[in-house]
Amino acid sequence: MAADQAAAPAASARAAGHGLPGAHPERAKHAVWHRLRRHPGAIAGAAVFMAVALAVLFGSFVHGVDPHYLDYRAKNQGMSLAHPLGTDNLGRDTFARLLAGGRLSLAVGVAAMALSLTVGTVVGVLSGFFRRLDGPLMRFTDLFLALPVLPLLMVTTMLFREPLRAALGLEAGIFILVVGVIGITSWMQTARIVRGQVLAIRAREYVTAARSIGARPWRIISRHVFPNALSPIVVAATLDIAAAIITESALSFLGLGFPSDFPTWGRLLYDGVPFLTLTPDRVIWPGLAISLTVLSVNFLGDGLRDALDPHATTHRAPVIRRK
């Protein structure tokens, strides 16, 4: 809280100093793209993430092996033409399983990001715009920030896995559960950042002007406040994807996430650990996939942050993750 009080004037000064994108939309967009291009890490990150996404989405058309097909006579094989990354102890194709797992991992990441972003943005906009809601909502956020996320995630998935599975089916139940718990426990940073931005925007002349011609709060929020608060939301979105992928794989690694029949990258890694001495590549490939994806998204997020906030280039406190 102390940090907030100190940071608030700095944030409003920054917002007032440079024209927020929106004053000249085209020029601002061009400037952002120009600054992003000078950030080699961000471009590389975007390229790698796109490549990973394309591979997991369309890879099965090129590599048409069924990830569930058991071939006991070809178990624990090394790399070959038929099985580019070898097979596991039941003779399933590692590369096909990696592609299928990646689809699930990325889906969890994107869905959890969407949920956490929605909650975070709504809470942030409401508490920044309506003074009366600010106190209660921020206390609520502080409460969530003090929750021990990993233990709670473990407990909730453990307790609600069976009932949700029974109600919604095997894959859908666990997917909704994991996405739900990750989304609900990761919106707080977004809410705080958005609130700060909205507080700064609310004090600007165009909001006063809109209010003086009788615009209703909802219209001011949707037409004036939200579009101008978009850049920190975009940055939070990228970083949230990375965080959600990590959290999901950590849960799966503890055996509390997805089951082996619908493995994500984390679960593949977990299933590979007992065979570490026999086939270490079963751990290496999913681990590399997670690391590469998260790394590329983080680089992209960093670059976007620098590009969208030119006054804070290169020296700006990164968001501290609680995990």
Distance CA 145, CA 188 (A): 7
Site for another protein in 6-25 (CB under 8 A): 6
Contact between 62 and another protein (CB under 8 A)? Answer: no
Task: Please give the Cα distance from 214 to 217 (Å, whole number).
Answer: 9
Q: Cα 187 from chain centroid?
A: 10
Least CB distance from residue 154 to another protein, whole Å? 6
Task: Select the span of 104-112, 129-137, 223-231, 278-286 touching another protein (CB under 8 A).
Answer: 278-286
Q: Which of 137, 299, 303, 305 binds another protein (CB under 8 A)?
A: 299
Q: Among 96, 98, 137, 149, which residue sits at the site for another protein (rule: CB under 8 A)?
A: 149
3-state DSSP assignment of residue 171:
helix
Q: Which of residues 37-56 bind another protein (CB under 8 A)?
A: 41
b/e per residue 115-140 (b: at least 16 CB within 10 A):
bbbebbbebbbbbbbeeeeeeebbee
To the nearest whole angstrom, how small is the minimum distance from the Cβ of residue 70 to another protein?
A: 25
For residues 269 and 256, what is the distance between their CA atoms, to the nearest angstrom?
13
Among 233, 253, 264, 305, binds another protein (CB under 8 A): 253
Count, in order, helices (H) and strands (E) of the chain. Answer: 14, 0
78 binds another protein (CB under 8 A): no
Least distance to another protein from the beta carbon of 183, Å? 16
Q: How far is the CB of 149 from another protein (least distance, A)?
A: 7
- Angle subtended by helix axes 230-253 and 94-129, to nearest 10: 140
Tokens read off for 259:
């089951």
Burial class (CB in 10 A: 0-12, 13-18, 19+), 31: middle
How near is the Cβ of 55 to another protein at its closest, in Å?
Answer: 19
- Interacting residues with another protein (CB under 8 A): 1-3, 5-6, 41, 142-143, 145-152, 154-156, 158-160, 162-163, 242, 246, 249-250, 253-254, 256, 266, 269, 273, 276-277, 280, 283-284, 287, 290-291, 294-295, 298-299, 302, 314-318, 320-323
